[in-house]
Structure 1
Amino acid sequence: MNPTIPSPLDDIIANIEELKGRNQYAQARRTALQALSKYTDDYRIYEELADIYIFEENLDKAEEVIRYARALHPDSGTGAYLEGYIAAARGDFDRAVAILTVANRRFPNNAEIIRNLGWSYVMLGEIARGLSLLRRAYALAPTDMMIVNDLGVALMASGAEEEARLLFERNGHTLGLGAIEAMDN
């Protein structure tokens, strides 16, 4: 197959991504499941399905599917990220750090991976290391409110409340400002 000519599977994956971008997760899931009936051994469809299950907050299904994807293609950076995300979401931060470190090596400037890795370090009590990663994620994606939130909370945990306040103000993060005000009272 000519790599410059998109395959039908590439079109299906693009369609799934578009549906996810429009928050149409049920339709994206149906499209992915339908694609699996034809492309049973393509890890990318399983990764898409795991991502959909994460958005739907079904971590059990996401974990089941990502295990299969990783068995098909253990070197996938996306698969490593999704597996690490699930570990962090379940509170298994040691495992999350190990897996997200692999994903970060494969995608070194992915703000989402760096944010999750940084937050996992913060949750393990390695606040300075986590802050360093969260600052890097913020530099890569300064409008990502998840990064703003995690960085702000980590700053507060480190005692840098004024820096957290400025970060939240600069980004219009009223929830974070409310948390700081509650701490001040």
Structure 2
Amino acid sequence: MPHYDNSGQDDRVYTLNPLIEEADLLKSDGKHQEAILLCEQILKTDLECVEAFEEIGDNYLSLREYGKAEKALIQAIKLNTNSANAHYLLGFVYSCTGQWSSSVALLETANDLYPNHPEILRCLGWSLYHHGERPKGIILLERSHQLASSDPLILNDLGVCYLNEKNFEKAGHLFKKALQFDPTNNKAKECLNAVNFFRREFDKMKKQ
């Protein structure tokens, strides 16, 4: 997610440290450790730089070092309780570790702070689905899909949910669509193969 200021009624003027933009570029290039080191340099002179903690958390998330990501993002939220980005990222961390209740709570806050952001809705829908609120999760994933219809991540997540619901027609359509936008998407390929396999198995069962 891009950096943004969503400070609600707080009318302070935020200026983004230029090194944050440099760290963001490093992250985009997959140079996560370099990005983390740069953000740590920022914090040596500005311990209240929310964006630095967010970037550190985001990079540790990419490295799947969830404990370190959690620590940085909790600090970001302490510094700015209205940061939709920090709530989203920490909610994402908890979805990766299967802490669905905590994930849902954080992502709902992120959605309140930044409504109708497709990535927030994607993650919230996914977490709700796995938290046991399957219909609501699918509804939010569908809304996310409406807002960003060509996003392979959204297409795959929604497709997986429909696959779990044994709605093979919808699941297959979504995975095919994901491959149209990203022909090298291995997850979509694997899931489409799974759809075809289960569809054949269910057809066999019907004929018996």
Same fold (TM over 0.5): yes
Stretches of 4+ moved more than 4 A in 1? none
Q: 1:90-169 maps to which residues of 2 (within 5 A)?
A: 90-169=97-176
Please, what is the CA RMSD of the aligned residues?
1.8
Q: Which 5+ residue runs of structure 1 have no aligned equivalent?
A: none
Take 1:61 and 1:84, find their aligned partners in 2: how far apart are those partners?
14
| Overall identity of the aligned pairs, in % | 31
Q: Who is 2:193 aligned against?
A: 178
Q: Deviations over 1:47-106 (max 9, x none)?
A: 111111101110010011111111111221111111211111111111111110000011
For normalisation by structure 2, the TM-score amounts to 0.81
Q: Who is 1:55 aligned against?
A: 62
Q: Which 5+ residue runs of structure 2 have no aligned equivalent?
A: 1-12, 180-187, 202-208
- Verify the 8 A CA contact 1:127 1:158 in the aligned structure 2: no
Q: Who is 2:73 aligned against?
A: 66
Q: Secondary structure at the match of 1:125?
A: coil
Take 1:36 and 1:143, find their aligned partners in 2: how far apart are those partners?
37
Q: Deviations over 1:126-147 (max 9, x none)?
A: 2211111111111222232221
Provide the aligned length of Structure 1 versus Structure 2.
181
Higher Cα Rg, which structure: 2
For normalisation by structure 1, the TM-score amounts to 0.90
- Structure 1 counterpart of 2:192, which letter? L
- Verify the 8 A CA contact 1:118 1:133 in the aligned structure 2: yes
